[in-house]
Chains A and B, each alone.
Chain A
Amino acid sequence: MLSGLLPEGQVLEGFRTEEWAICDRVPEAVAFPESDEQVAAVLRMAEVQGWTCVPVGKGTWLDGGQPPSRIDVVVSLTRMDRVVEYEPGDLNITAEAGTGLDLLAKRTKPHGQWLALDPPGLQRGSLGATVATGSAGSLQAAFGGPRDHILGATLVRPDGTILRLGGKVVKNVAGFDLLKLVTGSWGTLGVITSLTVRLHPLPAVDRAVLFNSAGDAPLADLALMLAQLSIPIAALDLLVPGEAERAGSGATPLVVVRLAGSRAEVEESQKLVEGTAPDRPERVLEGQDAARLFHNVQAVEQGAELVLRIRMLPSRLTRMLGLAEEVRAIVETHRGFGMRIAAYVQTGVLRVIVSRLARGEDWLEEGAALIASLRRKAEEDGGSLTISRGPSQLMQLVGAWGSMDSGRVLVQGLKRAFDEHAMLSPGRLETV
């Protein structure tokens, strides 16, 4: 269906498109454009033909999020993975949207810089997908999420017009900030083809201080105490291993404090952190060892069957842990690692990561009812519960997103303003 539009080798049709199924939905074709113009050509053709398109990055996260209601063409940015411009003195880098985060790190590291963004997923996941899904990780409290890192973006709209939003400077208020719409838009407004992101100087010392305890509750208290310190903490995570890990290697729950800065700053901060904790740290990791730990925290969702994301005020950590415990009722504890918990303490985000769901006769209905009930409880507490990934039958019953009580009209209006015929990623977000 796309032959003639793109050169041979840039289109996948037939049975091989199964590799690019999104949440079990197999597309008719996959396009691999290499330029803004090719993206525009594909979208224009789709608009004329009435095809729905779903933009994706490198395809490392295809089973995540709310399933699109229909897919004809997947537009993959895999081949748009070039660094366009990098001037280290300006502390920013411009790269095509399909550029892997690992590749960016490789380019910036020799200049003593990094993109301080650690979204869940694999290191080779793309910059574009990170921004489109608004994914942030442990570093969010200290450095901000994708919205705070992007300075500029190129967005190709369904009608083929190309918008250059923002720019290459850190302060820019020249007109309405359409750049903000790009973050977390899940491919519903346009295809992001390039991004300019701000970089930070790499810290001289990057250290992880680990505290353990047999129980979750004392660790939650410790985490909350540490969150009150007025020192700069790069990340503060609470990690609870799965049943299998506890039984097998004797893994215990951990509080991990990441300290980054000059040696003097880190040493001093570590003293304060240790002074706050009742016990000595179980371990202190530095450099590559610390980085490996956080890569594992990032990759923890990979291969999991269900990932829930509960968000409340950070002080409600214990309440969130309580809600998480209820999930155990639907976990197949003997397969995979069981059920893990990973919380970003300072932002009040707690992830429940389930290897395999128990599949009794009514597992689907039971799972949906449980999640709906947890979501209601979270919302009653002023929070929210979303599903980062889950079996598509389950997602259909309960939906990835919570209720949107306010602003629905604005969201739908913005969708129409960018994608009049609703041809981009329909159903990916709650209201559009």
Chain B
Amino acid sequence: MGDDGVITDDARLLVYESDGLTAYRHRPLAVVLPRDTEETARVVRRVGLEEIPIVPRGAGTGLSGGALAHRPSIVLGTARMNRILDLDPVNRLAWLQPGVVNADLSRAAAPFGLQYAPDPSSQSACTLGGNVAENSGGPHCLKYGVTSRYVTGLTIVTYRGDVVRLGGATREQGAYDLVGLFVGSEGCFGIATEIEVRLVPIPEGVRTLLAIFDEIEAAGEAVTQIIGSGLLPAALEIVDGETIRAVESSAFAAGYPVDAGAALVVEFDGIEVGLDEQVAAAVALCDDAGAREVRTAQTEEARAALWQGRKKAFGAMGRIAPDLVVQDATVPRTRLPEVLARIREIGERYELTVANVFHAGDGNLHPNLLFDRRDSDQLARVEKASREIMQVCVDAGGTITGEHGVGLDKRSYMHMVHTSVELEAMRRVKSVFDPDDRMNPGKVLPDDLEPPSGENSGRDGSPELQGDVG
């Protein structure tokens, strides 16, 4: 590996203690930074001799503790595997190493009029390998879909250090969709060392509008109306009043009115002709839903300003509270208004500040609980409120994570959405890829596949007890 490929000194290991979820900190035994597939395979084989677990890690921007060495383990970082191996503009495909930064891929494709569609908020830092592990989304996934739609092939290194090629844009093999299965497996199935992705044309034109509402429920209603009207925006994002005030009192002030209940960012893209027509239709629907004001942008600069309040939301929140729990639940879009009302009620009941910033068009909520962990009473209330919010989302037909993954953080919520039979099926699939439980062990699946007593999703895997579908 060479000296610069292995990190063992405490000072440098500090960086690897946590990921984007800073609540947990665990120092790994060591960090190794291989340069390619072969080196990765060698590392995995060597570490395997010691029976030490491996935790794969990209840029460490994950929000569920997935890249954490919470058991004594080696972190395998992809930082030095950051080359774009090939870019084929004619067939709109790219081959890259997992450490390539998401935004860098789009930058490399731009001269050919192409881009990589999934755009997580952390895209200037997060890596494609991490995106594959988490099946990442982003604001524009409403129109374009999430990571799994764009990954067509993978080279992976298995727990034994074997190199296996999965899928490929031109391969039809009469086998299971191993690429689809691997995407979103959170580093538990192996390490992706080469990734084949589809690129898409950069849209000719973009239009953005910002609608201001007195109540967040009205903004939710506008989303329902826009989706129901047959319009297909590229993005539909809501920022609530709490967040607006945080942003406006920070260095990131975007000029959103501080007395608003919510702001809705609507974006359309596509061929230039017809965009204005779509904007006009969306403005009318926002007005109908009770928008106080609708702003449109005429210049690229003005467009960036409309997005500012959304894009800087998380940065701003960090400034008004020492700690932040970022939740990530998805609900059916039509249930947004009532779920938002329930979340507000839960926040009030626990006397907590809840700030909502989210991908409304996908029904992907991010209720953020602001608190100070030194206050143990407040911490306990945060934990209770978080669980209640999750339950509300699940009861509305939703799920416990839309894009951040389960990682270490949400394992205890898994029983809310899966029966023990389903969790057992997941465990078996994990064993197919990693029978010795050496790849990122202790993530995704709860330690006990049976639900804790007194707590149950109300679902059961035995056929006799099945109710209606869903």
A413 to B175, CA, bound (A): 12
Total contacting residues, chain B, CB less than 8 A: 97
- Using a CB-CB cutoff of 8 Å, which residues 327-349 of chain B contact chain A? 330-334
A315 touches B91 (CB 8 A): yes
Cβ contacts A160-195/B at 8 Å (1 or 0 each) = 111111011111111111101101111001000010
B164, B400, B459: the one within 8 Å of A406 (CB) = B164
B274 touches A268 (CB 8 A): yes
B399 touches A90 (CB 8 A): no
B251 contacts partner chain A, Cβ-Cβ < 8 Å: no
Of B76-84, B166-174, B298-306, the one touching chain A: B166-174
- Using a CB-CB cutoff of 8 Å, which residues 272-313 of chain B contact chain A? 272-274, 277-278
CB of B66 to closest CB in A, whole Å: 11
A369 contacts partner chain B, Cβ-Cβ < 8 Å: no
Q: Number of A-B pairs whose CB atoms are under 8 Å?
A: 277
Known: A144-B145, A265-B270, A406-B165. A417 touches B428 (CB 8 A): yes
B406 touches A90 (CB 8 A): no
Closest-by-CB residue of B relative to A175 is B426
B201 contacts partner chain A, Cβ-Cβ < 8 Å: yes
B397 touches A167 (CB 8 A): yes
A112 contacts partner chain B, Cβ-Cβ < 8 Å: yes
Cβ contacts B171-215/A at 8 Å (1 or 0 each) = 111111110110111001100000000000110100000000000
B164 touches A407 (CB 8 A): yes
B93, B432, B470: the one within 8 Å of A168 (CB) = B470
B11 contacts partner chain A, Cβ-Cβ < 8 Å: no
B149 touches A148 (CB 8 A): yes
B185, B189, B201: the one within 8 Å of A230 (CB) = B201
* A: contact size bracket: 35 or more
Cβ contacts B355-396/A at 8 Å (1 or 0 each) = 000010011100000000000000000000000000000000
Task: Report chain A residues within 8 Å CB of B422.
Answer: 163-165, 175, 178
CB of B305 to closest CB in A, whole Å: 27
A40 touches B463 (CB 8 A): yes
B141 contacts partner chain A, Cβ-Cβ < 8 Å: yes
Closest-by-CB residue of B relative to A203 is B230
B53 contacts partner chain A, Cβ-Cβ < 8 Å: no
Task: Report chain A residues within 8 Å CB of B178.
Answer: 407, 410-411
A411 touches B176 (CB 8 A): yes
- The residue in A168, A196, A309 that gathers the most chain B C-beta atoms within 10 A of its C-beta is A168
Cβ contacts B397-423/A at 8 Å (1 or 0 each) = 111111111100010011001110111
CB of B354 to closest CB in A, whole Å: 21
CB of B210 to closest CB in A, whole Å: 23
CB of A22 to closest CB in B, whole Å: 16
Task: Report chain A residues within 8 Å CB of B166.
Answer: 406-407
Cβ contacts A380-421/B at 8 Å (1 or 0 each) = 001110100000000000001110111110110110111000
Task: Report chain A residues within 8 Å CB of B113.
Answer: 230
A264 to B274, CA, bound (A): 5
B165, B402, B421: the one within 8 Å of A173 (CB) = B402
Closest-by-CB residue of B relative to A201 is B230
Task: Report chain A residues within 8 Å CB of B168.
Answer: 382
Closest-by-CB residue of A relative to B223 is A89
A410 touches B184 (CB 8 A): no
B56 contacts partner chain A, Cβ-Cβ < 8 Å: no
A37, A112, A172, A400: the one within 8 Å of B174 (CB) = A400
CB of B153 to closest CB in A, whole Å: 11
Closest-by-CB residue of A relative to B135 is A173
A167 touches B432 (CB 8 A): no
A328 to B224, CA, bound (A): 54
Closest-by-CB residue of B relative to A378 is B170
B176 touches A414 (CB 8 A): yes
A429 contacts partner chain B, Cβ-Cβ < 8 Å: yes
B417 touches A383 (CB 8 A): no
Closest-by-CB residue of B relative to A200 is B232
A173 touches B403 (CB 8 A): yes
A161 touches B176 (CB 8 A): no
B315 contacts partner chain A, Cβ-Cβ < 8 Å: no
Nearest 3 CB-CB pairs, A to B? A401-B174, A180-B180, A230-B201
Name 20 extra pairs, CB < 8 A, besides A175-B422, A414-B181: A87-B332, A112-B230, A144-B149, A148-B148, A154-B469, A167-B398, A168-B397, A169-B363, A169-B402, A171-B403, A172-B399, A174-B414, A174-B417, A175-B423, A178-B422, A180-B176, A268-B272, A401-B172, A402-B174, A429-B175
11 pairs across A/B with beta carbons < 8 Å?
A: A89-B224, A92-B332, A152-B470, A174-B410, A175-B426, A230-B113, A311-B170, A311-B172, A407-B175, A414-B429, A416-B432
